[in-house]
A and B are shown apart, each in its own frame.
With several copies, the nearest count.
Chain A
């Protein structure tokens, strides 16, 4: 990629560079699936070449139409969404998006989901042929239609099955994205870890609901939706910390991150990188500010590489 403009200063790259599952990220600031489109939409808002990486909108083997509106509603400190995983499909991503994305020097993580084991595998096989994908991220927070619609990510067994099946075919590292809607995030993490996952990312959204008191209808057509934004940060930090106690693979922290201070909380709690989600909507350039802030913080605290922060909670 030597022909690409590299907009990261030498000092910045030394202090912020992190490696996860063999992938070298220029910094630990990534963006979360479903909040960054297919990456290109941000090309004229931020310097994509300065971003550590991004996760694509969730991809399925075939394109999906998604849920009827309303799909989103703002809540206190966050928002609910039920997009219904509308996406262009894995094939179109490979043929239409990747060629353009290869012009940028940032890591592309393909977020994948399915409603059965087979669909996950099918999507991965399509993406295996795509050039310019650094890793896969499995969204396991969807119902398994073949198993009576139980949410895969809510069952350690089901989650392990998907992880194993995908690992068998995946030509790239597999990051498994954990659902927070479980009694024990540790148990889920351990199951996924022993199934061969290369890294964790957490959290996905909390299931929530909002009602219009005049029409008495749910504010989201799907009735329930996923809660995200600053409101969920304390739950996300806690889960990162719990998983860090049992993990021997890297953790990518997600949940309510809106500034560099939020990011540092996740590093201390045990995350080696972070993903910014909802904040991309209301502060489209926040990732650049987060990178600036982390650099300054590390310099002030005499931290020569940011991974020195990881899992350093003092009690």
Chain B
């Protein structure tokens, strides 16, 4: 984990709703799939709190690291990030959080990725590493419409089995990604899979339920409002099951990746 001031290397806007931010970090970070950073424009006082952003891509070039983030412009935090210019400074804390483990996929030899909306970017590094491991990969990505499919080309470049759905049918199959997933699993009842997902809670919850029906283990990357990102405010909790009871676990330390069945979903 590094607390450091970094430089905006590039910022790219997709329409008015999405942004891709490329930062140059003057040190090497070893980023694991599913980890995130806390970001805010350097010195900005409004908003005060940094925003958690999942690493989309990272590339080390002689000691420096280029990291990419893709975000949806919603409120104050993402608006202030969207206003950055090349050369501006950014306060960076990361990498943070528990990553996706590749081990289970190594034993099942097959993996499924289910991404929804702006949760999709959090899966690219994982997809790349699974491919490196020679694991048979099927990727299901969903979004509201074609305009909400950001970074899709980076996934197709992996040339794995890729299914894209949009709620309005403006691209790929019409309907929810969970429908495409179910069809696929019906056709592959005989095979073993490990499932990784990131997206809206409702989608991850349904995905976990579906996976359970086919005896597939799910790993979900959750979101929560965060004040610190490194475990001290205990503000980012999600309720998770324990042997007897349940506890509130910190998404920033015990997560963001949890076993789907561990989480007590509340949407």
Q: Do A and B bind each other?
A: yes
List B contacts of A41 (CB < 8 A): 230-232
List B contacts of A34 (CB < 8 A): 233-234
Tell me the smallest distance from the CB of A283 to a CB of chain B, in Å: 8
Q: A41-B230, A44-B1, A284-B230 are in contact. Are A278 and B235 (CB under 8 A)?
A: no
Which residue of B has the minimal Cβ distance to A85?
A: B234
Which residue of B has the minimal Cβ distance to A231?
A: B48
List B contacts of A37 (CB < 8 A): 231-232
Q: A34–B227 Cα gap in the complex (Å)?
A: 12
Of A61-69, A116-124, A165-173, which stretch is located at the interface?
A61-69
B: interface residue count bin: 20 to 34
List B contacts of A72 (CB < 8 A): 225-227, 233, 235-236
Tell me the smallest distance from the CB of A161 to a CB of chain B, in Å: 29
Interface of A is mostly: loop
Specify which of B47, B233, B238, B239 lies most central, judged by the most chain A CB atoms within 10 Å of its CB.
Answer: B233
Specify which of B231, B236, B237, B239 lies most central, judged by the most chain A CB atoms within 10 Å of its CB.
Answer: B237
Candidates B48, B76, B91, B247; contact of A278 at CB < 8 Å = B48
A45:B235 contact, CB within 8 angstroms? no
List A contacts of B40 (CB < 8 A): 282
Of A73-81, A100-108, A186-194, which stretch is located at the interface?
A73-81
* A97 interface hit (Cβ, 8 Å): no
Q: A230–B239 Cα gap in the complex (Å)?
A: 31
B48:A86 contact, CB within 8 angstroms? no
Contact mask for chain B residues 1-45; partner A; CB cutoff 8 A; 1 contact, 0 none:
101000000000000000000000000000000000000100001
List A contacts of B1 (CB < 8 A): 44-45
List B contacts of A76 (CB < 8 A): 45-46
Q: A281–B226 Cα gap in the complex (Å)?
A: 9
A: interface residue count bin: 20 to 34
List A contacts of B230 (CB < 8 A): 41, 45, 284
* B224 interface hit (Cβ, 8 Å): yes
A79:B48 contact, CB within 8 angstroms? yes
Which residue of B has the minimal Cβ distance to A42?
A: B232
Q: A70–B233 Cα gap in the complex (Å)?
A: 13
Q: A35-B232, A36-B232 are in contact. Are A77 and B225 (CB under 8 A)?
A: no
* B228 interface hit (Cβ, 8 Å): yes
B237:A77 contact, CB within 8 angstroms? no
Candidates B48, B49, B225; contact of A70 at CB < 8 Å = B225
Candidates B48, B225, B228; contact of A73 at CB < 8 Å = B225
B227:A79 contact, CB within 8 angstroms? yes
* A71 interface hit (Cβ, 8 Å): yes
* A299 interface hit (Cβ, 8 Å): no
* B122 interface hit (Cβ, 8 Å): no
Q: A57–B234 Cα gap in the complex (Å)?
A: 10
* B112 interface hit (Cβ, 8 Å): no
B227:A284 contact, CB within 8 angstroms? no
Tell me the smallest distance from the CB of A301 to a CB of chain B, in Å: 20
* B50 interface hit (Cβ, 8 Å): yes
Tell me the smallest distance from the CB of A188 to a CB of chain B, in Å: 27
6 pairs of residues in contact across A and B, judged by CB atoms under 8 Å? A34-B233, A34-B234, A37-B231, A57-B234, A72-B225, A284-B228
